[in-house]
């Protein structure tokens, strides 16, 4: 995702943009000091950014030694990006401002389309309508299930999205719109969203543990995602927790995904239908999301059988946490997507495993929380991918925005 | 390990040093072009490096468009580093030139010392003698078994080195000698050695899979090691391959290390002693290294029971490979240390597992080989850690060398 830096000027503009993005209203002197830029350089850079409409001046603010100076501000609502998340049963599309706040979310169900081609046509039409309505959109980010082979542009494992296996994402979308499209594995996009928009201060060592229809992981180490040679690193869903376990579509045995994904929980739920009506009546006619939400509601209302099933899933979520800690040693792990909606009982069961199986030195210093982003982290993450690209080449995108507005 | 860059000049000198280190004899014009430096800058930088004795001029070489120009050369034999590898039963100490070639290796057996304090005193005395003899030594690298908690300076897991748990490595060694000491987890040091000295061209995405008395992993991604927040990432030896498996000293169950380390193989070997004399007679009175080497010799001579035990270990090595590929997706995995000496039968059994369990797209594009470094990769890796520091701050180390020589 790290785009080539076109030149040193754009690189310095990007540094100033990112400083304002992370620190809010700041004076030229504060920015220059933080980035080691001369007064002449900061004057030139900010003049260009103001001219391009990327930043604006506020009134006077309190500077160093009580001196008053003009504040600079990056207005996150002046530009927008579209984030798209592909999952097995649905596509989510969101319009976001640069702060990662969703202005609107659209959902398109796979079941409503006779074919993938039809679904893609429908998605393109939707994005076209959004872009026609908002000429402030400057980039599109897409989050796709892993393992996503970045170099050849398609997903390699089919278990979570069998029907999408023949779609080449860059070929299908890269030139489909008037703005650039950036594609990332879904959990990695989620990790970028947590890094960019998460509740805590900027975090440079975190992991986003996506437990939805598939199970994935994105890891940010020293500020950068771990990608691997072909883009398929951190595929925790296909790391075996039992080499003698259940066969997975990927070829491996005992893949974590086979035990705690929404699909696996739905299967376990359906298996209870034979026992006097099952935990959730009619679960076999529900989507995975519906079945899981019904189960979690029952569990939070204290239904003993539902609670037990949630805790069992939480135990497997915990085995995954143990592996994540030993393999990646992040400072924070944020659990998100469908299964995280089970809340406290799931997290408690998972942390019981962590406390039992992880070295105390590491268990004590690894924070594990449920995602608190108001929107699904992978959709927000798709937006984060586009916003990161925007911040890396601000003048390129400002120029694009100008042309889109017809200035 | 990335030391703070003291200033821009040192940074540019470091870039030139690394270019010459990786590319051999080059002209000023070639270096300037590759690094984007002006003729004035390259003249100034190389003058300083020549003055400090870090590089020298060769005769004329063929340049661009057949023009002749003076060649520049980094002489790897002018400076030396000491590499130290700590393992359960022994400490290895090597004197290396900057090309990673070992001039001499010393081995000190744990069993020869009444206490850790005595062993440390003996090690310090040995290093002191080497440094007195070679005033060209400018840095020391140490490779210690993981999980090594970088921030507090000691190893966290005790299974492979119980008696060392109370040693604080930086406190013990950082100021013990006239030159700086750099400490790294052993498998990560091995990965750096493969990157710096490996047979192939420079590799930016590789993993070193250490299978010795412990099992460890070092991963280089885009040229940098994956470290984690506290330095304990890539601890493959404590990733579970069976959540219902054998308990490990680290608290986890089914840790890979419990199935294919030299210790685990030795245990399996000793267990055969009850069966008509065992595979290796008297294995229970041997060190882990001796027992494994005896087993591997028998296997390579075609002993059926020995071969079967080696293949069983290889199957577990393969389960580890599957996890490494799915978790880190390196371009190359190099297997090293004691267990890699089993050679072809072990590798074949491991690759059988990989072919069966890894996605074909990834299995086909991940090279797996046995280490070909003439010296143990972790000892060489300890040297690599020191050499990397040297190349990052060449003038600092040149100055140190000058003072050591008494110039």
B86: domain CATH number is 3.30.420.40
Q: Cα(B160)–Cα(B216) distance, rounded to whole angstroms? A: 11
Q: Which pLDDT belongs to residue B203?
A: 77
Which residue, of A57, A74, A91, is where some domain finishes? A74
Statement to judge: residues B254 and B213 lie in one domain: yes
Answer for the pair B291, B269: CB distance below 8 angstroms, yes or no.
Answer: yes
Of B230, B331, B366, nearest to A365 by CB-CB distance is: B230
Whether B319 sits inside 8 A of A235 (CB atoms) is no
Cis peptide bond N-terminal to A333, omega within 30 = no
B residues 127-166 closer than 8 Å to A (CB): 147, 149, 152, 156-157
CB contact under 8 A, A149 and B328: no
Whether B1 is in a domain gets the answer no
Name which residue leads in pLDDT, B88 or B200. B88
- Residues A239, A361, B84: CA angle, nearest 5 degrees: 85
Of B406 and A235, the one with more pLDDT: A235
Instruction: Please indicate, yes or no, if residue B27 is contained in any of the structural domains.
Output: yes
> Does one domain contain both A307 and A210?
yes
Q: Which residue is closest to B204 within chain A, CA to CA? A: A229
B226 and B327 belong to one structural domain? yes
Lowest mean pLDDT among A368-372, B109-113, B171-175, B386-390: B109-113
Residues A164 and A17: their CA atoms lie apart, in Å, by 37
Interface of A with B in 309-348 (CB under 8 A): 319, 322-323, 326-331
Size of interface A-B (CB pairs under 8 A): 146
CATH number where B60 lies: 1.10.10.10
A282 lies in the same domain as A362: yes
Classify the phi-psi angles of A278: left when phi > 0, otherwise alpha if psi is within -120 to 50, otherwise beta.
left
* Chain A contacts in chain B segment 352-371 (CB below 8 A): 356-362, 365-366
Distance from the Cα of A97 to chain B's closest Cα (Å) equals 31
For residue B399, the surrounding DSSP H or E stretch is helix B394-405
DSSP bridge pairs for B96: B81, B102
Domain for residue B3, yes or no? no
CA distance A386 to A98: 9
- Distance between CA atoms of residues A279 and B372, nearest Å: 58
Structural domain ending residue among the three candidates A49, A74, A99: A74
Q: Which residue from B233, B326, B358 is facing A329, i.e. has the nearest CB?
A: B233
> How many residues are listed for chain A in this entry?
407
Q: Which residues pair with B81 in a beta bridge?
A: B96, B139
Which residue in A4, A249, A260, A329 has the most chain B C-beta atoms within 10 A of its own C-beta, making it the best mutation to test that interface? A329
Residues 6+ apart with CB under 8 A from B198: B206, B334, B372, B373
- B219 close to B191: Cβ distance less than 8 angstroms: yes
In a domain, B89, yes or no: yes
Residues B301 and B272 grouped into a single domain: yes
Tokens of A381: 């993450």
Residues of chain A contacting B235 with CB distance shorter than 8 Å = 326-327, 329
Same-domain pairing of B165 and B250: no
CB contact under 8 A, A228 and B357: no
Query: Structural domain of residue A349, as residue ranges?
Result: 201-370
Quickly count: other Cβ atoms within 10 Å of residue A10's Cβ: 17
Q: Which of B156, B241, B251 sits opposite A356 (nearest CB)?
A: B251
Strand order in the sheet with A68-74: A26-27, A68-74, A55-62
A327/B239 touch (CB, cutoff 8 Å), yes or no: yes
Chain B residue at shortest CA distance from A333: B229
Find how far residue B86's CA is from the centre of its chain: 12
> Which residues of chain A does B229 touch, with a Cβ-Cβ cutoff of 8 Å?
205, 329-331, 365-366
Count CA atoms within 13 Å of residue A46 on its CB side: 24
Residue numbers in A near B356 (CB within 8 A):
251
Domain edge (last residue) among A41, A74, A107: A74
Nearest CA-CA partner of B318 in B258, B226, B256, B265: B256
Encode B299-360 in three state secondary structure: HHCCCHHHHHHHHHHHHHHHHHHHHHHHHHCCCEEEEECHHHHHCHHHHHHHHHHHHHHCCH
Q: Are B239 and B323 in contact (CB under 8 A)?
A: yes
CB contact under 8 A, A228 and B156: no
How do the pLDDT tens digits run along chain A, 407 residues long? 344 445 788 899 999 999 999 888 999 999 999 998 999 999 999 999 999 989 999 888 876 666 778 999 998 888 999 999 998 888 999 999 998 999 999 999 888 898 888 999 999 999 999 999 999 999 999 999 888 998 888 887 655 556 677 788 999 999 999 999 999 999 999 999 999 887 666 578 999 999 999 999 999 999 899 999 999 999 999 999 999 999 998 899 999 999 999 999 999 999 999 877 899 999 999 999 999 999 999 999 999 999 999 999 999 999 999 999 999 999 999 999 999 999 999 999 999 999 999 999 999 999 999 998 877 888 999 999 999 999 999 999 989 888 888 76
**Interchain CB distance below 8 Å, A362 and B331:** no
Specify if A320 maps to a domain.
yes
Q: Nearest residue of B to residue A249 by CA position?
A: B359
- 3-state percent breakdown (helix, strand, coil) of chain B, nearest 5: 45, 20, 30
Whole-number Å distance between alpha carbons of B150 and B157: 13
- Distance to chain B for A250, nearest Cα, Å: 6
CA distances from B123 to A334, B86, B90, B177, B216 (A): 44, 11, 11, 12, 24
Q: Which of A222, A233, A323 sits opposite B240 (nearest CB)?
A: A323
If one counts the domains in chain B, the total is 3
Cis peptide, bond prior to residue B60, ω within 30 of zero = no
Contact B148, B1 (CB under 8 A): no
Q: In this complex, which of B221, B326, B366 lies closest to A226 when CB atoms are compared?
A: B221
Can you give the pLDDT at residue B389?
93
Token pair listed for B299: 């296997």
Q: Which residues of A touch B147 (CB under 8 A)?
A: 326, 359, 362
Which ipTM was obtained for this model? 0.92
Option in B152, B241, B359 nearest A251 (CB) = B359
Residue B1 pLDDT greater than 60, yes or no? no
- Interchain pair A229, B149: CB under 8 A: no
Q: How far apart are CA A383 and CA A140, in angstroms?
A: 7
Give the relative orientation of helices A186-197 and A377-392 as an angle to the nearest 10 degrees: 70
**B213 and B360 part of one domain:** yes
Q: What local confidence, expressed as pLDDT, does residue B63 receive?
A: 66
Q: How far apart are CA A235 and CA A258, in angstroms?
A: 13
**What tokens were used for A297?**
């509601």
Residue B297 tokens read as 């010799």
pLDDT tens by residue, B109-136: 888 998 888 999 999 999 999 999 999 9
Same structural domain, B252 and B266: yes
Whether A239 and A337 map to the same domain: the answer is yes
- The answer on B58 and B39 residing in a single domain is yes
Q: Which of A205-209, B58-62, B369-373 has the lowest mean pLDDT?
A: B58-62
Rounded Cα distance between B197 and A22, Å, is: 40
Give the model's pLDDT for residue B180: 94
Within-domain flag for A99: yes
B90-97/B80-86 β-pairing: antiparallel
Tell me, yes or no, whether A69 and A85 share the same domain.
Answer: no
CB contact under 8 A, B253 and A362: no
Instruction: Produce one character per residue of B155-179: b if its CB has 16 or more CB atoms within 10 Å, e if not.
Output: bbbebbbeebeebebeebbeeebeb
What's the gap in Å between the CA of A326 and the closest CA on chain B?
Answer: 5
Mapping DSSP to helix (H, G, I), strand (E, B) and coil, where does residue A321 land? helix
Q: How confident is the model at residue B9 (pLDDT cuts 50, 70, 90)?
A: confident
B contacts of A244 (beta carbons < 8 Å): 242
Rounded to an integer, what distance in angstroms lies between the CA atom of residue B372 and that of residue B390? 24
Shortest distance between the Cα of A164 and any Cα of chain B, in A, equals 17
Is the domain of A256 the same as that of A383?
no
Interface touch A251/B357, C-beta < 8 Å: yes
8 Å CB contact between B70 and B28: yes
Contact B327 A327 (CB under 8 A): yes
Are A161 and A122 a contacting pair, CB within 8 Å? no
Distance separating alpha carbons of residues A325 and B125, to the nearest angstrom = 38
Q: Decide if A1 is inside a domain.
A: no
């Amino acid at each position: 995702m790290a785009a080539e830096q076109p030149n040193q000027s754009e690189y310095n503009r990007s540094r100033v943009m990112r400083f304002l993005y992370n620190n809010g209203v700041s004076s030229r002197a504060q920015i220059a000091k933080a980035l080691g830029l001369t007064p002449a350089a900061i004057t030139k850079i900010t003049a260009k950014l103001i001219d391009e409409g990327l930043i604006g001046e506020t009134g006077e603010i309190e500077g160093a030694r009580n001196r008053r100076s003009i504040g600079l501000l990056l207005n996150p609502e002046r530009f927008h990006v579209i984030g798209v998340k592909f999952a097995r049963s649905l596509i989510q599309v969101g319009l976001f401002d640069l702060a990662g706040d969703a202005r609107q979310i659209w959902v398109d169900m796979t079941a409503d389309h006779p074919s993938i081609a039809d679904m893609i046509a429908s998605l393109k039409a939707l994005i076209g309508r959004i872009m026609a309505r908002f000429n402030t959109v400057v980039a599109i980010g897409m989050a796709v299930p892993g393992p996503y082979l970045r170099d050849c542009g398609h997903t390699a494992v089919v278990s979570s999205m069998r029907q999408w296996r023949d779609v080449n994402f860059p070929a299908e979308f890269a030139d489909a719109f008037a703005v650039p499209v950036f594609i990332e594995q879904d959990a990695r996009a989620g990790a970028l969203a947590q890094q960019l928009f998460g509740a805590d201060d900027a975090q440079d060592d975190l992991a986003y543990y996506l437990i939805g229809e598939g199970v994935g992981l994105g890891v940010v180490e020293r500020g950068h995602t771990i990608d691997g040679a072909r883009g398929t690193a951190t595929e925790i869903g296909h790391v075996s927790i039992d080499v003698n376990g259940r066969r997975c579509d990927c070829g491996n045995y005992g893949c974590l995904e086979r035990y705690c994904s929404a699909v696996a929980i739905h299967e376990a739920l359906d298996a209870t239908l034979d026992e006097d009506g099952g935990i959730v009546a009619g679960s076999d006619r529900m989507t995975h999301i519906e079945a899981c939400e019904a189960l979690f509601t029952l569990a939070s209302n204290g239904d003993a059988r539902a609670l037990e099933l949630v805790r069992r899933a939480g135990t497997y979520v915990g085995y995954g946490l143990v592996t994540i800690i030993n393999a990646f040693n992040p400072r924070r792990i944020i659990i998100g997507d469908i299964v995280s909606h089970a809340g406290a009982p799931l997290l408690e069961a998972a942390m019981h495993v962590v406390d039992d199986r992880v070295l105390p030195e590491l268990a004590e210093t690894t924070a594990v929380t449920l995602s608190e982003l108001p929107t699904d982290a992978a959709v927000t993450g798709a937006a984060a991918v586009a916003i990161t690209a925007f911040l890396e080449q601000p003048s390129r995108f400002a120029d694009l925005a100008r042309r889109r507005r017809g200035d």
